[in-house]
Amino acid sequence: MQRLTLISSPLCPFVQRAVIALKEKTEPFDIVYVDLADKPDWFLKISPLGKVPVLKVERENAEPAIVFESAVILEYLEETVPGPKLHPEDALDRAQHRSWIEFCSQMLGDFWRLTTAKSEPESTAALATLGDKLQRLEMVVAGPFFSGASFSNVDAAFAPLFRQIDMLEAVVDIGFTRRLPRVDAWRRVLLARQSVQEAVPADYAQRYLSHLRERGGYILQERD
């Protein structure tokens, strides 16, 4: 038996991956939110990189253990928590899934650069980079989920990115996936899934849009 506590930030997409995985496995867990702009001392003591997510694992007759970095947390949950498997059985398939999770992490960085770009050239370049990666995804998504009928950790990784895209498109008509039917269908399936919807606080949309505007990115300045 183990007690799991996820140290989180309300807007962090990397935290959402772990929340989604835990909810898919219906595993009880606690969640504690920290303000990353004013990190408490107790958090800095347990987070070597000063980032979220951090998973605290408490087991009987053992000192609490800390696991950090979202990809590592997903692997630990897959290996220790009962419930549906979120990685393929075949070793090569698992390796490919891990590669696409890293690809998603790169896309989250691209999206951050888009929303923080201060000029039209920077914004245009970031949009082009995201567009190229979405085109590549269009060639590999099987549907309805990334690799077919089963929800996987790749889906858990991409769902927070699609949520951010949805939030931006609520105020800016970009049409990221408009001409990508496979990715668009996948995006809609993920965002309708209960585990994905429950992975963020109830006021996430308001918080995230306020956060976008605080960044002062060109893409919103031109449209507000």
Residue numbers annotated as active site: 12
Length of the chain: 224
200, 152 contact by CB (below 8 A)? no
Instruction: Measure the CA dihedral 146/150/154/155, to 10°.
Output: 80
Beta bridge pairs of residue 8:
33
Sheet with 65-68, edge to edge strand ranges:
30-33, 2-8, 54-59, 65-68
**Rounded alpha-carbon distances, angstroms, from residue 147 to 25, 47, 155, 219:** 19, 33, 9, 33
